[in-house]
Structure 1
Amino acid sequence: MTWHLPDDDLRAYVAGRLAPPLLWSADEHLKACGHCRAVLAQQTDPAVLEAGWARISDEMDAPRPGITESLLLKVRVPEHTARLLAATPVLRRSWLLAVVTVLVLSIAVGRTATPLLLLATAPLLPLAGVTLSFGPGLDPTYEMAVVAPLHTFRLLMLRALAVLATTVPLALVGSLAMPSFATVAAGWLLPALALTALGLSLMPWLGPVGAPALVGTCWMAALGFNYLVAQHMFFPFTAAGRAGGAVAALAAVALLVAVRNRFENGRHLDTSFRFAARRLT
């Protein structure tokens, strides 16, 4: 080394008074400079020195937050909440790429033939995302999420908002390519909110897979019936359909709020983690 830490800095380092950025510089220098480490060892109690090296080791080995987590931390989202949100499976590139692909195909078919495919996919994408974002066997961070110091309902809402924040803007941008953008966007956006809220409301009884599956099946059956009765006049695109979608969305949200306390005892929780979740919330 061509230079060494001044004695004043070493004494401040030992006493814990050395502040960043000098502290960071000292940490890096001590890792490479045997002379300064020897001087530091002479001035420091062995137990204190060992604790300091353990701290440096922990900082070096600590996982670095990803892009999503870093952005959430910058907008002052609490660290534990940012970690749970960043771990949401649907925020991965593979999911986003799949959503974009489905929307592009739906819009391409909708422009050349019928918007039935768009109605069958866009409203169900948020619901599918929520299904993949919460529940044993679906979420790779499920165990960590269940024992986190959060009410299960709040955790589910955080994950649902993360899903909506990614899928809805993508679908809205895609809808710009459709004729009568306002009508088309309202035709799938309101049902999407209603289906997502209804699927979440049924999770305490049917689980994270059964509830979305039932809601999605009913939606597809309703679209099929609509297509058989009036092939070119889809109810969600009409004025009555948009009004009905708004009412359905409000009713589904009200139902979700009404059943929020049932999420602590629902089937979506594994028995092995239920007790821990109750103790920590």
Structure 2
Amino acid sequence: MTKPGGRHWHAPDDLVARYADGTLPEAEAWSVETHVEGCAGCASRVSAAVRGTAAGAVLAGVRAAVLAPGAVPEPVVPVRPGPARVSGPSRAARLLWAAGPAVRGAWLPAVLGVAVAAPVLSYGAGFPGARALLLAVAPVVPVAGVALSYGPHADPLHEVTAATPGGGLRLALVRTVAVLAVSLPLLTLTGLLLPASGAPAAAAWLLPGLALALATLALASLVGCRAAAGLTGGGWLAAVAAAVAAAPGGAVTTRLAGQLSHWLDGAAAQSAWATAAVLSAALLTARRPAYDRPLRP
């Protein structure tokens, strides 16, 4: 922690005591937790203060279970009483955990598979509508990443992390950014490598993908991540399929490219998606308190 003027200082005793008994406001508690990650002295003082509260016995039991044979190594940075945040693994390990499916699990191989399959389909099999097909699927990829990255199914300790200053919506947004940081450039670059064949520009799906991801986060506060992803991603795919089926004659790929041009190309279409993204963000902001407790499965 730093005083005005850049001088470093340590957490005062009253701040430590209020942190230990759980009465410290969330913003100050988060500041203390951030400070003790790099200050062994304050970490020891906070640990001692927490052990002296009613939560000490509970944390001692958790510690004993964690240190049992076959369990993970001992955590070294103290936790808040009640809903807790432990810090023992390296910073890289914590970032890996926070980033979610963008860097671990089956999601990344699946995205890479989509990125590789499209050029193979276009240049290897001579499929003329590869870009249109990619643009139809691309907006759902971030939605799938959001669905897999947050919630009880993604975190064994979801109930704990949702109640910490670093959990809840903040963690959901960190993982969503990681998902977007992987999928947006990768799939856009793939689209640029494919022949246009009447399909929209390769980057035309970016705003729809962002809007659907934000809408998924907003709806997740009501119905859970997986159900929300089913509504947004499934709704998009169903709308595309219905529009292509209802379009007048011609090859399926031609009809798909035409429908996507109506929905994605031009200032009007992109403005509509930008408006949808802003409205989704506003709804998500209004629903932020729902992320302070565990979401539905």
What is the TM-score normalised by the length of structure 1?
0.60
Partner of residue 114, structure 2: 102
1:178 equivalenced with 2:205 (yes/no): no
Inter-partner Cα distance in structure 1 for 2:106 and 2:228: 24
How much does 1:180 deviate? 5.0
Inter-partner Cα distance in structure 2 for 1:218 and 1:254: 21
Partner of residue 143, structure 2: 127
How much does 1:99 deviate? 0.7
Q: Percent identity?
A: 33
- Check conservation: 1:207, 1:267, Cα contact below 8 A: yes
Determine which structure has more spread, i.e. the larger CA radius of gyration: 1
Inter-partner Cα distance in structure 2 for 1:256 and 1:166: 22
Gaps of 5+ in 2: 1-72, 76-86, 249-254
Q: By percentage of residues, which structure has more helix?
A: 1
1:85 equivalenced with 2:98 (yes/no): yes
What is the TM-score normalised by the length of structure 2?
0.57
Q: What per-residue deviation string (whole Å, max 9, x for no partner) do you get for residues 163-204 of structure 1?
A: 111121211221221235994333211110011000110011
- Check conservation: 2:136, 2:237, Cα contact below 8 A: yes
Report the residue type matching 2:220 in the other structure: M
How much does 1:217 deviate? 1.4
Structure 2 CA distance for partners of 1:141 and 1:163, relative to 1, 3 Å = farther
Q: Indicate which of 216, 234, 242 corresponds to 2:270.
A: 242
Inter-partner Cα distance in structure 1 for 2:122 and 2:204: 13
Q: Indicate which of 215, 224, 232 corresponds to 1:207.
A: 224
Structure 2 CA distance for partners of 1:209 and 1:262, relative to 1, 3 Å = same
Q: What per-residue deviation string (whole Å, max 9, x for no partner) do you get for residues 237-267 of structure 1?
A: 4213333222222222222222222223564
Inter-partner Cα distance in structure 1 for 2:96 and 2:104: 14
How much does 1:84 deviate? 4.2
- Check conservation: 1:103, 1:174, Cα contact below 8 A: yes
Structure 2 CA distance for partners of 1:248 and 1:222, relative to 1, 3 Å = same
**4+ runs deviating over 6 angstroms:** none
- Check conservation: 1:84, 1:145, Cα contact below 8 A: no
Q: Equivalent residue of 2:147, what SS?
A: helix
Gaps of 5+ in 1: 1-56, 71-79, 270-281
- Check conservation: 2:162, 2:168, Cα contact below 8 A: yes
Q: What per-residue deviation string (whole Å, max 9, x for no partner) do you get for residues 55-111 of structure 1?
A: xx979xx97638xx27xxxxxxxxx6x36425x233126432221112222354467
